[in-house]
């Protein structure tokens, strides 16, 4: 009788142990099931978070929506990505900036049929192993190492005069910035000058349809890989001057300002317009203009400024970049011309019947 009771007790004990094990397994299964439901409810949580970190934001920290352009039907044979972007710009309105240096990368044949604009640019960027970022006005194709270019913003640095201007523009890859700024200045009847360290950079392939002028200027600088924080924008109703941080000479270049006569001051205040190398060359092709020496610039300077311009002999070979100035006073024209050089040791002296460009003593 005792043996039977002992066996029955052991069986009951095994049964209770088994039930506890089964109960624990059910709890584990239930927890796993609940976790699976939670993950299914948020299947792209991590991806969304990562992408949000790369989304551009405006000045007030508000995320920017990508630009909206019509869908694209476009076909291009295998070739360089620069050629494809140019062809896309000719056929479809929109906005794309291809960073300088990428234009020769090979792009396989592409065919798009009623494809959303953003998908087209993303696929082109993927094909050349680059990223597709955006601003509120255009898409930006560049390698991951250059993401900081997306943060370039200069609108607040510009005088209010320029914020209401807009234009449609297209620049080919390798266009020097001095030529791009000259063309923009001619189109909008404004003055945009940059010092040599900025102006001699070359922009990438880009086009923008009916974009605000501040946006255009940002896109041009981004395309040329001009990084935020490496330059300063000086802006007045009279002109825009973009200088590198190393170019610290902000003062007027009039050497004898304290001894000017009333007539000489009036001469410097006269309103002038200036095109270098010369008006004929600009009329032929603004985007193909090349630097000339200061000696070669003396004749067009004299003719266009209405006063004889001479130069100290040892400065005659200094290069002068193509530029265009519209409705500035004569002092501003010569000061901007000399401020293109990132050295402050040059100026001009107003003499009787002429102006001498020379070194400061």
Q: Strand 319-320 vs strand 106-107: parallel, antiparallel, or unpaired?
A: unpaired
- pLDDT tops 60 at residue 25: no
Residue 281 has a pLDDT of: 60
Average pLDDT over residues 123-149: 96
Residue 8: band (very low, low, confident or very high) from pLDDT cuts 50, 70, 90 = very low
Least confident range from 154-163, 283-292, 330-339: namely: 283-292
d(CA 250, CA 236): 13
Structure tokens at 113: 């049929």
d(CA 131, CA 121): 9
- pLDDT tops 90 at residue 174: yes
- DSSP summary character for residue 135: -
Residue 184 has a pLDDT of: 95
- pLDDT tops 80 at residue 28: no
Q: Determine what percent of the chain is predicted with pLDDT higher than 90.
A: 73
Residue 245 has a pLDDT of: 94
Residue 250: band (very low, low, confident or very high) from pLDDT cuts 50, 70, 90 = confident
Mean of the per-residue pLDDT values of the chain? 84
Query: Can you give the three-state secondary structure of 281-317, one letter per residue?
Result: HHHHCHHHCCCEEHHHHHHHHHHHHCCEEEECHHHCC
Residue 92: band (very low, low, confident or very high) from pLDDT cuts 50, 70, 90 = confident
d(CA 323, CA 89): 26
Domains and CATH numbers, the chain: 72-244 (no CATH), 257-359 (3.55.50.30)
Dihedral, 222, 224, 229, 232 alpha carbons, nearest 10: -100
Residue 343: band (very low, low, confident or very high) from pLDDT cuts 50, 70, 90 = confident
Q: Tell me which of 182 and 15 has the higher pLDDT.
A: 182
- pLDDT tops 90 at residue 47: no
Q: Classify the C-alpha dihedral 187-190-196-201 as positive or negative.
A: negative
- pLDDT tops 50 at residue 34: no
CA distances from 244 to 44, 169, 195, 230, 233 (A): 43, 25, 7, 6, 9
In 136-263, at which residue ranges do the beta strands (DSSP E only) sit? 139-142, 166-171, 175-176, 192-194, 202-203, 206-212, 231-235, 240-244
Q: Tell me which of 233 and 30 has the higher pLDDT.
A: 233
Average pLDDT over residues 224-249: 95
CB-count exposure of residue 106 (10 Å: 0-12, 13-18, 19+)? exposed
d(CA 199, CA 231): 12
Residue 251 has a pLDDT of: 78
- Note the pLDDT tens digit of each residue in 210-230: 999 999 999 999 999 999 999
- Note the pLDDT tens digit of each residue in 298-330: 999 999 999 999 999 999 999 999 999 999 999
Average pLDDT over residues 58-72: 75
- pLDDT tops 50 at residue 7: no
Average pLDDT over residues 238-263: 93
CB 311 within 8 A of CB 190: no
By C-alpha distance, which of 152, 155, 133, 156 is closest to 53?
133
Residue 344 has a pLDDT of: 80
- pLDDT tops 90 at residue 199: yes
Dihedral, 86, 92, 94, 99 alpha carbons, nearest 10: -10
CB 97 within 8 A of CB 133: no
Least confident range from 157-166, 212-221, 284-293: namely: 284-293
- pLDDT tops 60 at residue 142: yes
């Amino acid at each position: 009788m005792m043996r039977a009771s002992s066996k029955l007790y052991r069986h009951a004990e095994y049964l209770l142990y088994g039930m506890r094990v089964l109960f624990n397994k059910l709890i584990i299964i239930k927890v796993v099931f609940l976790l699976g439901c939670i993950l299914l409810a948020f299947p792209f949580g991590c991806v969304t978070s990562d992408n949000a970190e790369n989304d551009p934001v405006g000045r007030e920290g508000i995320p920017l929506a990508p630009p909206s352009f019509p869908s694209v039907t476009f076909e291009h044979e295998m070739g360089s990505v620069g050629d494809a972007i140019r062809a896309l710009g000719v056929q479809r309105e929109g906005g794309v900036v291809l960073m300088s240096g990428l234009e020769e990368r090979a792009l396989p044949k592409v065919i798009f049929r009623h494809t959303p604009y953003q998908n087209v640019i993303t696929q082109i960027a993927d094909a050349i192993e680059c990223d597709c970022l955006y601003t509120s006005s255009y898409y930006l194709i560049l390698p991951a190492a250059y993401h900081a270019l997306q943060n370039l913003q200069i609108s607040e640095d510009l005088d209010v005069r320029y914020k209401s201007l807009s234009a449609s523009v297209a620049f080919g890859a390798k266009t020097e910035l001095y030529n791009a700024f000259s063309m923009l200045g001619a189109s909008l009847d404004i003055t945009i000058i940059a010092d040599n360290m900025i102006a001699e950079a070359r922009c990438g392939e880009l086009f923008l349809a009916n974009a605000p002028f501040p946006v255009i200027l940002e896109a041009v600088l981004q395309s040329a890989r001009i990084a935020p924080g490496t330059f300063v924008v000086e802006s007045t109703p009279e002109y825009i001057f973009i200088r590198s941080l190393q170019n610290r000479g902000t003062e007027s270049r009039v050497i004898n300002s304290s001894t000017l006569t009333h007539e000489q001051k009036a001469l410097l205040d006269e309103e002038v317009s200036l095109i270098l190398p010369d008006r004929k060359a600009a009329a032929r092709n603004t985007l193909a203009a090349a630097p000339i020496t200061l000696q070669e610039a003396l004749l067009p300077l004299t003719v266009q400024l209405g006063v004889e311009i001479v130069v100290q002999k040892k400065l005659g070979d200094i290069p002068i970049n193509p530029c265009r100035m519209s409705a500035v006073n004569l002092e501003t024209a010569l000061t901007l011309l000399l401020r293109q050089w990132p050295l402050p040791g040059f100026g001009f002296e107003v003499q009787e019947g002429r102006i001498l460009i020379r070194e400061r003593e």
